[in-house]
Structure 1
Amino acid sequence: MGRVRSLTRSVAGAALVLVVAAGCSAEPPSPPPAPPTATPEAAPSAPVTPGTVLNPGEPRELVTGMEVPWGIAFLPDGSALVTQRIPATISRVDPDGRVTELGRVEGVTPTGEGGLLGIALSPGYATDRTVFVMFTTSDDNRVVKIVADPDGTIDGSRGNQQEVVTGITKGGNHDGGRLAFGPDGYLYITAGEAGRGDPAQDRDDLGGKILRVTADGAPAPGNPFGTPVYTLGHRNPQGLAWDPSGRLYAAEFGQNNLDEINLLQPGGNYGWPEVEGQEGRDGFLDPVAQQPVRNASWSGLTYAGGSLYVGALRGERLFRYPVNADGSLGEPQVLFEDVYGRIRTVATTPDGRAIWFTTSNRDGRGDPRDGDDRIIVLPLSRAQHHPFTVSP
């Protein structure tokens, strides 16, 4: 359990600015963690009506002293299960900032950008208590499921892991790692191409793809190729988000030129390594948004209050893109440039009234914030004016 103390520090100068941005960087492991500390947060409130326009408020620190918090999966009460990449732990973080370690996942090899990555809860978690995690082993990237104990603790020993998808190629970087259950009840997995390039175009290779499977790992009914592959031609996708109309967006790292947000279509080919960014080439689908790599390095993605929010690692920013009624994205804004360091995961609370985002400074490149990763809460409030059209 983390040591708790008050940290009610507001952030000065966290203003919205119009943007240009994107990027990718390797992530070496670093020094041992300090114990997490916390600040209080208000209890969850009534859920937001779909289509309501919400604007960001004043951010505040919820927890500090973490070690590369990577995945967030919210429980119905507003608390969340949070993975830490390097120590391979799963902790419960309450809305008041209390941190309780629930268990450790065995078999994790946290080399390069790998380790314990994404986490998702079964749609029937209230009764089956099943937790899905993606992690790097010495041989591959894989997804397993673990049944939590009735008291919420998680025994991540190998004997309690049930394999869902194995054999996803690992690399020193480009491991993907995001997990999310869609509105259709199936599990979506972002799989990086592990630095190999060409296999992202191979339908029989799981790397460089978005996968869609049942809770047992079988290809989901209706998949375009009769395999786990849902879309292909991705480099290192790490963000997934659905809007209220059920449209699925994915954020991914570019290489030298452009990061992408793609609006996914079953069987769609998003071009890597043949295409990077919006080139309009036959046979490939262009992204709905792009930013220069040097300013972004997009990772986590979420939908909240009429907009997509996407975290930037190298760019050290949180982007906000309004979602138009036709699924296109409006002009972007940037929040918190060079305030928190590298932003990894972005997730919306169950009531839709706040965003939690995590930093990845401990595995950064000598940033002065290195060694003190944290979770930040960004409250959302109803807009006084509607500056853009949103999904119905």
Structure 2
Amino acid sequence: MDARPRRPATSGRRRALRRRGMSALLLSLTCVLAACANFSGAGTTFTAQPSLTPAEVTPVVPQPADGSTTARSSPSPTTGKTTTSTTKPADPCTPTDPAVVAACLSAPWGLAPLADGSALVGERTTGRILKVATGKKPVLVTTIAGLNSGGGGGLLGVAVSPSYAEDELIYAYVTTKTDNRIIRIAPGDQPKAILTGIPKGTKDNGGAIAFNADGVLYVGTGDAGKTQSATSLGGKLLRIDEFGKPAPGNPKKTSPIFSSGFTQVTGLCVLPTGVMAAVDHRAAADVLLAARSGADYTTLSSGDAIWTWKAADGGAADCATSDGVLANTSLGKQQLAGVSMSSTGIFSGSPRVLLGHTYGRLLTVQTGLKGALWMTTSNKDGHGKPVAADDRVIVLPDGGASGGNGPD
């Protein structure tokens, strides 16, 4: 006879229930941790929670200045193998440098900044005049036919009418098979010659033009490599009105000649005094000469040259004034330099480099909106070292007050 006391039946049932309850709890926890799927067919609504981990930033790989292809290697997160991806080459004709307004131009020479912050630029060898603006593709305005670009000629100086906002008239100095001349271009019309007969040659064709505040167009011509007579239009500084007629105030009412004795005029700029001045190339140096009625600069006297740029210092190709600074471009030195000049025409201090060895050979410089200095490069002329983006139009804000140097 078993003497052990019997446990009530209810105790066994309680133990069985406890075991089933623990099994259900363990199963529930297992499903939570293992993400058990529910195939019951009942709809489940959920909302993705915001991540507290920053999104991965894809690095921007800098493009080479020459537009070549760049390869980037990275390990695969799944296989661990290294894969190489290739970026698309940068388009050298689409500027990424904020100072470069236009690229891939053909011999840009004439330059005329406009009041809206854009500019007109003329290509010496193609005859095209383009409108360029920062962040926009160049727009063809017109193409001048019948040019002769030999001897440094072609489409040279470009200027716009003082009333350009109303009449949209463009003036240009061009070389033809027979002469150098001034033409006027009206919207939708064929170019019209308003002054002809400027001697042309295999060199020294001149080509600078600029309006002054009184609406008089100054024209700087070269001597075409020859000694010119007193009545020839070669080697002169001319003054004409908008129709090509001699401007009032010329020494002779019937002649456009204002000053003589020039060799090769490639730059014109209005000084703080209001006087027009010309950059003339001489054998020993480049000189800045004032436009003086009847003056003959064949042989320079003391005080004739407002400023002198020696050949050893790189010379000067063009000039502009901005905020009390007389600026000049230099092809040889590949720079834009400037010297302080008072409102009375007195220079102070020494010249300083405003932009040097950044874009190669600098040719034309013109003052634009808010004193900005607009320039063209001349790297594909056989003397420079062009890059894929040449030649270019560049702009230096505030007349280069901050200066700057950088790699080309």
Query: TM over 0.5: same fold?
Result: yes
Equivalent position of 1:341 in the other structure: 360
Paired position in structure 2 for 1:304: 322
Name which of 210, 221, 229 aligns with 2:237.
210
- Aligned residue for 1:83, secondary structure, equals strand
Provide the rounded CA distance (Å) in 2 between the counterparts of 1:293 and 1:242. 23
Which AA in structure 2 matches 1:333?
Answer: R
| Stretch deviating more after TM superposition (104-113 or 363-372) | 363-372
In 2, the alpha carbon distance for the partners of 1:304 and 1:103 equals 30
Partner of 1:38: 95
Which segment drifts farther, 236-245 or 208-217? 236-245
Whichever residue aligns with residue 260 of structure 1, its letter is V
Indicate whether 1:254 and 2:302 are aligned: no
In structure 1, the residue matched to 2:332 is 314
CA RMSD of aligned residues (A): 2.6
**Deviation, structure 1 residue 79:** 0.8
SS in 2 for 1:302: strand
Task: Give the letter aligned to residue 396 of structure 2.
Answer: L
Q: How does 1:1-392 map to 2 (within 5 A)?
A: 36-39=93-96, 60-149=99-188, 160-196=190-226, 198-199=227-228, 202-226=229-253, 227-255=255-283, 257-271=284-298, 274-275=299-300, 279-280=301-302, 286-330=304-348, 331-352=350-371, 354-365=372-383, 367-369=385-387, 372-380=390-398
Structure 1 residues 127 and 379, CA gap change in structure 2 (3 angstroms): closer
- Kept after mapping to 2: 8 A contact 1:73/1:119: yes
Verify the 8 A CA contact 2:122 2:130 in the aligned structure 1.
yes
- Residue 244 of structure 1 and its aligned partner are, at CA, apart by 4.1
Report Cα offsets for 1:253-295 as digits up to 9, x if no partner: 222x111012322222223xx34xxx52xxxx62011121243
Aligned counterparts of 2:235 and 2:225: Cα–Cα separation in 1: 9
Residue in 2 aligned with 1:18?
Answer: none
| 1-structure distance, mates of 2:321, 2:149 | 29
Query: Is the Cα–Cα contact under 8 Å of residues 71 and 117 in structure 1 kept in the other structure?
Result: yes
Aligned counterparts of 1:142 and 1:313: Cα–Cα separation in 2: 26
The answer to whether the Cα contact below 8 Å between 1:40 and 1:95 also exists between their aligned partners in 2 is no
Where in structure 1 are there 5+ consecutive unaligned residues? 1-5, 10-33, 42-59, 150-154, 385-392
Specify every segment of 5 or more residues in structure 2 that has no aligned partner in the other structure, as ranges. Answer: 1-61, 66-90, 403-408
Tell me the CA shift for residue 381 of structure 1: 7.3
- Checking the alignment, whether the CA contact within 8 Å between 1:8 and 1:39 is kept in structure 2 is no
Cα shift at 1:167: 0.8
In 2: Cα distance, 1:365 partner to 1:80 partner: 26
SS at match of 1:365: coil
Q: C-alpha distance in 2, partners of 1:83/1:383?
A: 27
Q: TM-score, normalised by structure 2?
A: 0.71
Cα deviation 1:138-187 (Å, max 9, x = unaligned):
111111101013xxxxx6xxxx1211111111112211111111111111
Segments of 4+ moved more than 4 angstroms: 6-9, 368-371, 381-384
Answer yes or no: is the 8 Å Cα contact 2:324–2:343 preserved in 1.
Answer: no
Q: Which amino acid aligns with 1:37?
A: T
Distance 2:400 2:231 in 1: 46
Cα shift at 1:375: 1.4
Once residues 38 and 163 of structure 1 are traced to their aligned partners in structure 2, the CA distance between those partners, rounded to angstroms, is 35
Task: Give me the TM-score of the superposition, normalised by structure 1.
Answer: 0.74
Give the secondary-structure state (helix, strand or coil) at the position aligned to 2:126. coil
What SS is found at the alignment partner of 1:108?
A: coil
CA drift of 1:319 comes to 1.9
Identify the residue that residue 25 of structure 2 maps to in structure 1: none
Deviates more, 1:211-220 or 1:333-342: 333-342
What is the rounded CA distance, in whole Å, between the counterparts of 2:384 and 2:366 in structure 1? 26
Give yes or no for contact 1:254–1:260 (8 Å, CA) kept in 2: yes
Of Structure 1 and Structure 2, the greater helix share is in: 2
Contact 1:38 1:98 survives alignment (8 Å): no
8 Å CA contact retained: 1:8, 1:61: no
* Shift, 1:364, TM fit: 3.1
For residues 60-117 of structure 1, the C-alpha deviation after alignment (integer angstroms, 9 at most, x for no partner) is 3222211111111122211111101111100000133431122210111111201111
Aligned residues: 314
Q: 1:35 to 1:90 in 2, by over 3 A?
A: farther
Determine which structure has greater relative contact order: mean sequence separation of CA pairs < 8 Å that are 6+ residues apart, divided by chain length.
1
Shift of 1:7: 9.0
Structure 2 counterpart of 1:183, one-letter code: A
Q: For 2:336 and 2:393, how far apart are their aligned partners in 1?
A: 13
> C-alpha offsets along residues 224-277 of structure 1, whole Å, 9 cap, x if unaligned?
23310111111111111113431222212222x111012322222223xx34xx
Q: Give the aligned residue type for 1:142.
A: R
